[in-house]
Amino acid sequence: MVLEVCVKAAVGAPEVLGDCPFSQRVLLTLEEKKVPYKIHLIDVAEKPQWFLETNPEGKVPVIKIDDQWIPDSDVIVGIVEEKHPDPPLAHHPEVSTVGSKIFPAFVSFLKSKDSNDGTEQTLLNELKTLDEHLKAKGPYVNGENICAVDLSLAPKLYHLQVALGHFKGWKIPEEFTHLNNYIKLLFSRESFEKTKPIAEEHVIAGWAPKVNPST
């Protein structure tokens, strides 16, 4: 059975896969589990009527399972894990929140216009915490095998790298060696290569309105 998945199309290029990290998380999960799926690319600027009828909130990702359209990446990956338990992506409960504060810290720093407001330091603190966790428990968050937490973090770390590099000329400090190795490990996986945005320009275009709301 082929699952149907609605994901974000690229900004300005609705015929190619877009830059939504939550959509990529779902696709990564399906790829890692070798679950066949069909993608519907949704232009979030002009959402098709059929999509809004099945999903009135209009958010992506959404997946069709048992003839029901289900939103929310957290819910989706939980159902996929339940219905397709092999290979397992479950993890110890104590690692479920590892790295969970990185994405909001990244967004705050990205949008910040004040270099002294502490947003950069907050992000550095969160990245350091992840680096220390990986040093003790790695190479992945849950140890030797990739898990659902890694698949949630991978797209967010990609957005962090691309967006902060472009808009702020900023990169993750080299001293976070375990984190940098972790990122290389994640980005080199076949599942990541197959599900990442076609071009970094699409990620940049996706964040541009948030960085410069007036443009």
* Helix/strand/coil for 13: strand
Q: Which domain holds residue 202?
A: 93-211
pLDDT value for 214: 65
The residue type of 155 is P
pLDDT value for 213: 80
Asked whether residue 20 is assigned to any structural domain, the reply reads yes
The CATH number of the domain holding residue 26 is 3.40.30.10
Query: What are the pLDDT tens digits along the chain (215 aa)?
Result: 899 999 999 988 999 999 999 999 999 999 999 999 999 999 999 999 999 998 999 999 999 998 999 999 999 999 999 999 999 999 989 999 999 999 999 999 999 999 999 999 999 999 999 999 999 999 999 999 999 999 999 999 999 999 999 999 999 999 999 999 999 999 999 999 999 998 999 999 999 999 988 65
pLDDT value for 12: 87
> Where among 37, 59, 83 does a domain terminate?
83
pLDDT value for 1: 82
Going by C-alpha positions, the residue among 85, 90, 86, 37 that lies closest to residue 63 is 37
Asked whether residue 118 is assigned to any structural domain, the reply reads yes
Identify whether residues 110 and 206 lie together within a single domain.
Answer: yes
The residues carrying an active-site annotation are 20
Identify whether residues 118 and 193 lie together within a single domain.
Answer: yes
Question: Is there a contact between 191 and 158 (Cβ–Cβ < 8 Å)?
Answer: no
Nearest 10 degrees: CA dihedral of 192, 198, 204, 205?
-130
Identify whether residues 100 and 75 lie together within a single domain.
Answer: no
The residue type of 179 is L
pLDDT value for 212: 85
Here the tokens at position 200 are 């970094």
Pairwise CA distance, residues 82 & 75, whole Å: 11
Going by C-alpha positions, the residue among 158, 127, 167, 190 that lies closest to residue 18 is 158
Identify whether residues 77 and 101 lie together within a single domain.
Answer: no
Pairwise CA distance, residues 110 & 118, whole Å: 12
DSSP string, 120-179: HHHHHHHHHHHHHHHHHH-SBTTBSS--HHHHHHHHHHHHHHHHHHHHH-----TT-HHH
Identify whether residues 55 and 152 lie together within a single domain.
Answer: no
Question: How many domains would you assign to the chain?
Answer: 2
- CA R_g for the chain: 17
Pairwise CA distance, residues 195 & 191, whole Å: 6
